[in-house]
Chains A and B, each alone.
Chain A
């Protein structure tokens, strides 16, 4: 693997909820190589957004606590730095697109103001034709009007596209995007995926894309990380994992995604409900919902193991030949 641009090790975070700390990120290792596009999928509430926001210093400083871990960016250790300093270094080369981008903009300032700010930070003069180019790259046609609008006046999909265009102004080394395409139609989604791919190929921009959308995972990521209950449960090459992951949770997710595509009258469900951090135990977080569960699954958190290049956290993975492909594949 190419040299790691970003490396997170044994990262643990607790969030402050009514004056008590609750562990939400429970020991995560994450690596992003130069030029790589990494996907993150997983349960709603599994900690994807908290992971990324705390890593970059983008959450309220007094709303969480980092319990352990190291973060290397280009070989330089980040977590020991004062949070503002860390944000300065990371903010200069990493662009972050929030899950609800409209709210991350200041509501009293026009879109044009936000673009101007980006240029100011870079110490460059405002370049109107470059901004127009970026806007048309993300499929926005009525540009003059849109630049005069305020964030709350944008449609859902316009907000997401503006957020990407804003991120691209600085030509960042890394783009981290939290659900960048959840509010846009199939045609635009294709356009945005092509754009991201193009930027990755042309400038070698590394990316982390958090998404629930398997099309996005398939089309632009090379590697994928699957999260559940504050842990990485599974990780590997995108195509291989999507075809025949050894992990029961990943397989369950894929079956759900397939079921949404076909027209069965009732969609496939994983039994039970997502795990809440209030109920974290020393057990496999997926145990309550897993078909392959045995007693040992409830005795401890499974350790990370490797099989044919795929990393997984599970005591009873699908390893034998009969289990080779997914049932529905």
Chain B
């Protein structure tokens, strides 16, 4: 169980914001000095203030952002393979070409990693769609024709299409209505029980975190101020910010 899958070592990310040549620039310390270990099979939650660096940290894990300093060691290897780490983004419509169809997106993902015949691909596409609560007839629709919640499901289907080892979920259900939230969470938990999957879940919804995670990290102002197992975090939070968060949550 305690096999290490990801080691994060003194990771930092700075952004330099300078609207034009004449104006003075500003440095943003998005992630200051974060170290942690993720174990195989973990469902690790990341909570924290808006703007505290959660998405930036996630993007570095995915190699979507280059760290300013520090290192990431995945599965004992320096570089994660893109296939093994997949993401479900906070605003998933930023990721896709708005004019491509769901079918095309899923087919591309499947083709990249499996050699399947056309009809096997079709079967897989339909199975993936129904596993995230969508109808196979939706596959002809283009990305810009979906509602916010439907898009989130497309994104989960695509991430699962390549059978990743580590799935990073950035606010995976906040755009969904409560009935679909339950379905997606049940689905994610079922997949986790069946397959060799590790999740990192970024969420503001402490209900979701409490339901799904075994370990929880708390971020504030770019720093990881606390990392505990679930029981400890909810019963004996250490940092003042966590205490306040838990208090507002149980309100």
Contacts and interface: CB of A to CB of B under 8 A. Distances in A.
Given A45-B147, A253-B177, A268-B182, A187 B244 contact: yes
A285 to B, nearest CB: 14
B149 A156 contact: no
Interface string A260-272: 1101001111100
B50 A253 contact: no
Contacts of B185: 260, 267
A276 B149 CA distance: 13
A150 B248 CA distance: 31
Interface-central residue, A157, A256, A266, A274, by most chain B CB under 10 Å: A274
Contact of A144 (B26, B183, B206): B26
Interface stretch (B14-22, B79-87, B110-118, B156-164): B14-22
Nearest to B145: A17
B141 A17 contact: yes
B137 A278 contact: yes
A256 B15 contact: no
Interface in B118-159: 130, 133-135, 137-138, 140-141, 145-150
B28 interface: yes
Chain B, interface size category, equals 35 or more
Contact of A44 (B91, B176, B210, B251): B176
Interface in A210-225: 212, 214
Contacts of A266: 186, 189
A114 B144 CA distance: 25
A151 B49 CA distance: 19
A158 interface: yes
A129 interface: no
Residue of B28, B150, B204, B251 with highest tally of chain A CB at under 10 A: B204
Given A153-B15, A156-B91, A187-B245, A257 B178 contact: yes
B235 to A, nearest CB: 13
Contacts of A44: 147-150, 175-177, 180
B183 A102 contact: no
Nearest to B134: A273
B245 A18 contact: no
Contacts of B180: 43-44, 274
A41 interface: yes
Contacts of B41: none
Interface in A141-156: 144-145, 148-150, 153, 155-156
B171 interface: yes
A42 B179 CA distance: 9
Interface string B26-60: 10100000000000000000011111001100000
A260 B207 CA distance: 6
Given A267-B186, A269-B179, A183 B48 contact: no
Interface of A: 15, 17-18, 41-46, 49, 99-100, 102-103, 110, 112, 139, 144-145, 148-150, 153, 155-158, 161, 179, 182-190, 212, 214, 252-253, 256-257, 259-261, 263, 266-270, 273-274, 276, 278-279
Interface of B: 15, 17-19, 23, 26, 28, 47-51, 54-55, 90-91, 93-94, 130, 133-135, 137-138, 140-141, 145-150, 171, 174-183, 185-186, 189, 204, 206-208, 210-211, 244-245, 248-249, 251
